[in-house]
Amino acid sequence: MTSSTKLDPLLWQHLPGKLIERIVFFLPPAALFRARCLCRRLRSLLSSAYFPAHHHHHFHRRRPYHRHWLLFFQHELPTTSFFLSTDELRPLPPALIFDTDELRWRRLHLSTFLPPGFFPAAASGGLLLLLPSSPAAASPILANPLGRSWVSLPPLHRRRLFPSAGLAAGDTAVAVLLAGDDLVSPFAVKNLSAELFLTGGAAFSPAAPLPRLCNLQTGRLIFHAGKFFCMSFSPFAVLAWDLRASAWAKVQPPMKRFLRSPSVVELGGALVVVAAVEKARLAVPRSVRLWALSRSGVGWVEMGRMPAAVHEEFAAEEKGRGFEAVGGGEVLALTIRRSPRVMVFELESRTWRWLPQCPFVEGGQGLRGFVFEPRLATPALTLLQGSLISC
């Protein structure tokens, strides 16, 4: 067919319904947003109860979708977690999605189907982990933002001050790990502890105590190669929780003395530390650098750094306030505290660039980001709903 070939519109108007369904089942998630606006017939199909499961079967299981979206909330790590009264519970802010396929922003209102009083903590396998912001709601939530479904997990054994949270979600299994300071009062903490929830369990179970001299601040645990990883501060270290051995270990970070705003992410199938390197008399220029953990799990290999011209722009925007890195697949995003701007590193092209300004951001509050795999259906969530109800 050439570009001058004319297609009869009546041909497309009378396609069999089964054939249209078959075509739509193979569309990527981004295309489904556009398809809802084309006609009532497609909108009815996409809104049907059976469509998400069929789309997952045809699209995700037969041809895994390796593209990730960047999901942001105009909301940074809470500083008053577990100290809000029931009268102060706020609805979850809209999710701000940057579609990496179409290079455009979308807004998704989650408060229409999720209860108030929660904040986003982790993402994996098309699911979001939401933690309670008040003692009145002590159970975390797992939610599928696109499928508009959610399940309440069992209550936590202990309240924690600014807990670090990790989520690993597959088609048939989910693991949730929470770690942080035990909350004794608003003015004191006791010790570092952790608890774990696995698919098939009826409750969270205590995990082994964290190593001594740990300080968790980022609120994130990254799952990679059967382990949860996070940064520890003062002194710097990378902590690893082995899911199979049920034990913690410490990994010496790269350039331990000269790091600023370090984060642990997964990028290109490797565990990566992202941090600013700053010291007045250091022989290398100031920059943001990336190190990948070696296969032996002992040393680090530098895999990239921000070019000088880009770093000058980034430093002018950041102004020493600090930043946070999130990664997944082939993309890394840097969010700056109290700034709506986002810097992205694309592993395949080795390029750094600013994302277009989000039109939905209001005020000067910063963004908290997650790398998100778009899925209309998540079988693991359906299994959890059935198992928790039966328990």
* Residue ranges of domains in the chain, CATH in brackets: 11-60 (no CATH), 69-390 (2.120.10.80)
Mean pLDDT, the chain, rounded, equals 82
Q: 42-46, 74-78, 231-235, 358-362: which range is least confident on average?
A: 74-78
SS3 12: helix
pTM: 0.83
Would you place residue 329 in the very low, low, confident or very high pLDDT band (cuts 50, 70, 90)? confident
Which amino acid belongs to residue 78? P
Q: In which element (H, E) is residue 128 found?
A: strand 127-132
Q: Using CA atoms, how far apart are residues 111 and 311, in angstroms rounded to an integer?
A: 37
Would you place residue 21 in the very low, low, confident or very high pLDDT band (cuts 50, 70, 90)? confident
Pairing of strands 160-169, 220-224: parallel
pLDDT at res. 55: 62
Q: In which element (H, E) is residue 366 found?
A: none
